[in-house]
């Protein structure tokens, strides 16, 4: 079975084709909004800034009907070659699931107005079982693009590409995985945090793990990595010292604490996969495949996991889940207290 295209690959194909990729009717769906915003920007580029008041309609699905959308799509542009009808939260459009509404949209997709770009955006995609999906799939004037969340390896490749072409720095594999472990795979957040790092890097610099941590120290994020390392290494006293340092720097700590819980949850879930794989007698390459991480990072995990046994992982995951709930709760306790409780539950003092 062929691997699914990453959201970045889908966008790259659209970018290469330009506005031709959005002719007629276009449906964009998926959870990676970063690239869908780029599709929106591409569509809007078809209309000069000065003419957008007359030729761009930005709509939200719950506010309009199919007939209203098609009425706008059938209007000719004013003092412009193109007009754009952009519908966000498209699966909430009134009538989009009815047979009459779908029939109207199908009829338009078969003969769209050449001067109109009609763009539907939503996390949810069009149900492939519907007549709308089946008929539009046959039309040369309709396109479906899906932007799924990137996997860690895909996010790593994209991050390295972004660093090179947008910020003129290079990030090696070790630093890339640490960066993604810290931020996650959301492309908007990755770009934002990379921009912070790049402002402190030299042009053309190669960023390895040590350089990354040096740069992070200038953006106040280094303590998070140090704390994660201390917890994973079962160094309780150092963990408490770092939490105290974080408290002195930022009394609220909510964002940093949530990020810490996310990093730990991801690491201990991978520990679970590794330990379960060992229990089943799987080969190292088989376990690495299940972890879906690159060989370098797997070697790090394979070494770190030796400090743990399978039976204690469920309790650790429960502690992290409780911490996440506590930090997000209406009556959330002080973040540094929540982190200290996590350390105590992960590594009970004997």
- Do residues 327 and 257 touch, judged by C-beta distance below 8 A? yes
- Give residue-wise pLDDT tens across range 48-65: 988 999 999 999 998 999
- Domains annotated for the chain, with CATH where assigned, are 18-146 (3.40.50.300), 150-219 (1.10.8.60), 222-350 (1.20.272.10)
Please give the Cα distance from 264 to 281 (Å, whole number): 26
Work out the burial of residue 68: count CB atoms within 10 Å of its CB; fewer than 13 is exposed, 13-18 middle, 19 or more buried: middle
- Give residue-wise pLDDT tens across range 230-283: 889 888 888 888 887 777 655 556 777 888 888 899 899 999 999 999 999 999
Helix then strand then coil, % of the chain, to nearest 5: 65, 10, 25
- Alpha carbon 163 to its chain centroid, in Å, reads 17
For the cut 60, the answer to whether the pLDDT of residue 2 exceeds it is no
Angle formed by the axes of helices 209-217 and 187-200, nearest 10°: 80
Q: What is the pTM of this model?
A: 0.67
Contacts of 331 (CB under 8 A, 6+ apart): none
Provide the greatest CA pair distance for the chain.
Answer: 77
């Amino acid at each position: 079975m062929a691997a699914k295209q990453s959201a970045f690959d889908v966008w790259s194909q659209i970018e290469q084709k330009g506005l031709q990729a959005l002719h007629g009717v276009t449906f964009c769906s998926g959870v990676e909004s970063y690239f869908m915003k780029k599709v929106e920007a591409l569509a809007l580029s078809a209309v000069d800034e000065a003419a957008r008041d007359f030729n761009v309609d930005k709509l939200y699905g719950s506010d309009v009907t199919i007939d209203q959308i098609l009425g706008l799509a059938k209007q000719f542009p004013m003092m412009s070659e193109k007009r754009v009808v952009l519908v966000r939260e498209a699966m909430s459009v009134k009538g989009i699931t009815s047979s009459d509404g779908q029939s109207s949209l199908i009829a338009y997709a078969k003969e769209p107005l050449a001067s109109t770009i009609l763009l539907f955006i939503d996390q949810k995609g069009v149900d492939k079982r519907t007549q709308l999906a089946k008929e539009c799939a046959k039309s040369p004037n309709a396109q479906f693009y899906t932007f799924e969340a990137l996997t860690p390896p895909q996010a790593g490749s994209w991050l390295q590409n972004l660093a090179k072409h947008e910020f003129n720095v290079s990030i090696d594999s070790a630093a890339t995985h640490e960066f993604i472990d810290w931020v996650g795979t959301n492309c908007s957040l990755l770009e934002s945090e990379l921009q912070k790092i790049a402002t402190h890097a030299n042009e053309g610099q190669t960023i390895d793990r040590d350089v990354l941590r040096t740069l992070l120290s200038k953006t106040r994020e280094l303590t998070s990595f140090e704390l994660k390392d201390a917890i994973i290494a079962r160094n309780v006293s150092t963990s408490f010292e770092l939490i105290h340092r974080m408290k002195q720097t930022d009394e609220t700590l909510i964002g940093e604490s949530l990020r810490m819980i996310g990093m730990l949850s991801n690491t201990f879930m991978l520990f679970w996969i590794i330990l379960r794989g060992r229990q089943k007698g799987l080969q190292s390459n088989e376990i690495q495949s299940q972890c879906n991480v690159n060989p370098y990072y797997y070697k790090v995990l394979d070494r770190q996991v030796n400090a743990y046994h399978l039976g204690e992982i469920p309790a650790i995951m429960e502690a992290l889940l409780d911490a996440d709930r506590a930090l997000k709760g209406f009556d959330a306790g002080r973040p540094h207290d929540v982190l200290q409780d996590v350390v105590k539950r992960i590594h009970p003092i004997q």
